[in-house]
Amino acid sequence: MPTVGDTIKLIQAIAPEEFAYKEGVENVGLIIGRRAAKAVKVMCCLDVSNRVIDEAVAEKVGLIISHHPLIFMPISSVSCEDVLGRKILRLIENKIAVYASHTNLDFVADGINDYVANLIGLKGITVLDPYIGANAGFGRAGDLFIGMTAEALRKEVAHALNDPFVRVIGERTDFIKRVAVINGGGGGETKYIDMARDADADCLITADVKHHVAEYALDCGFTIIEPQHHTMEFCYIQKLVQLLQIKAKEQKLNIEIIQASSETNIRS
């Protein structure tokens, strides 16, 4: 009978936990559950939402693999008196384990950063901050096959990510040839603008751009293209399911691995 631990070995082969970001708060690995518990059905998702938990209970899932950790910041209690506590209790009561593969899945070779860079159509892709190794680390940079205006690239990104809410910070007519990509919330600090500029990028594609970061980019004459955090990472979940299915087959593990159907690209 396959266990939670068996599937954890599969995901660790794809995105080792030691590849997780070393700065700030991070929480990867087994969040809830026992490695020895049986898990014949596994569900992958971006976030462990109430809708995902409802689906996992209905589908009799033994393990949820999420990108974003269910428990991100330290908590002082687990009770039915708050949203997170109710989610944790319900998962435990239904014997559903939760494993998070966060920035390690972002940074690993062929992880989310590489996937988004390829989806956008970059060539000659390199790592912005290769603190892990030549092919893994923080962010990516590459060249467009054909240079275009910021507005044209915005449309390309919107199409690639199926995201109708992509915006341009900067001049829409600026010519873009070299692009940096930081999937998810890379818009929180000005140092990421500097990192992209040091890589000779004309533009940074990232989400969650704070006001002061946008102002800094404008002052630098640098373009940011900002999709939604959700769409920059949701696009990878289907591939993660496929990779895990391949790994399970290689290991001759009879595990059913599915994607949460309750989680969609467009949030409503």
Structure confidence by residue, pLDDT tens digits, 6-54: 999 999 999 999 999 877 668 999 999 999 999 999 999 999 999 999 9
Claim to verify: residue 44 and residue 66 sit in the same structural domain: yes
Structure confidence by residue, pLDDT tens digits, 61-71: 999 999 999 99
Task: Looking at 67-190, list the stretches that DSSP marks H as alpha helix, in order from N- to C-terminal side.
Answer: 83-93, 103-107, 112-120, 150-161
d(CA 107, CA 137): 5
Sorting pLDDT into bands at 50, 70 and 90, what band is 120? very high
**Residue 130 backbone dihedrals phi, psi, to 5 degrees:** -80, 55
Structure confidence by residue, pLDDT tens digits, 78-115: 999 999 999 999 999 999 999 999 999 999 999 999 99
Residue 41 in any domain: the answer is yes
pLDDT at residue 22, rounded to an integer: 76
pLDDT at residue 25, rounded to an integer: 67
Residue 265 in any domain: the answer is no
Claim to verify: residue 65 and residue 165 sit in the same structural domain: no
Claim to verify: residue 27 and residue 123 sit in the same structural domain: no
Q: Give the residue numbers spanning the domain of 12.
A: 4-104+233-258
- Domain count within the chain: 2
Residue 84 in any domain: the answer is yes
Q: Nearest to residue 262, comparing CAs of 7, 10, 48?
A: 48
SS3 state of residue 223 = strand
Residue 146 in any domain: the answer is yes
Bridge partners of residue 140, in order along the sequence = 127, 181
What is the residue whose two structure tokens read 């004309």? 202
Q: What pTM value is reported for the model? A: 0.95
Q: Residue 64: CA atoms inside 13 Å, Cβ hemisphere, count?
A: 34
The 10 Å Cβ neighbour count of residue 101 is: 28
Residue 126 in any domain: the answer is yes
- Sequence-distant (6+) residues with CB within 8 A of 140 are 113, 114, 116, 117, 122, 125, 126, 127, 128, 180, 181, 182
Claim to verify: residue 217 and residue 113 sit in the same structural domain: yes
What sign does the CA torsion over 110, 242, 163, 64 have? negative
Claim to verify: residue 114 and residue 195 sit in the same structural domain: yes
The domain spanning residue 135 has which CATH number? Answer: 3.40.1390.30
Residue 268 in any domain: the answer is no
Claim to verify: residue 120 and residue 215 sit in the same structural domain: yes
Residue 113 in any domain: the answer is yes
d(CA 174, CA 177): 10
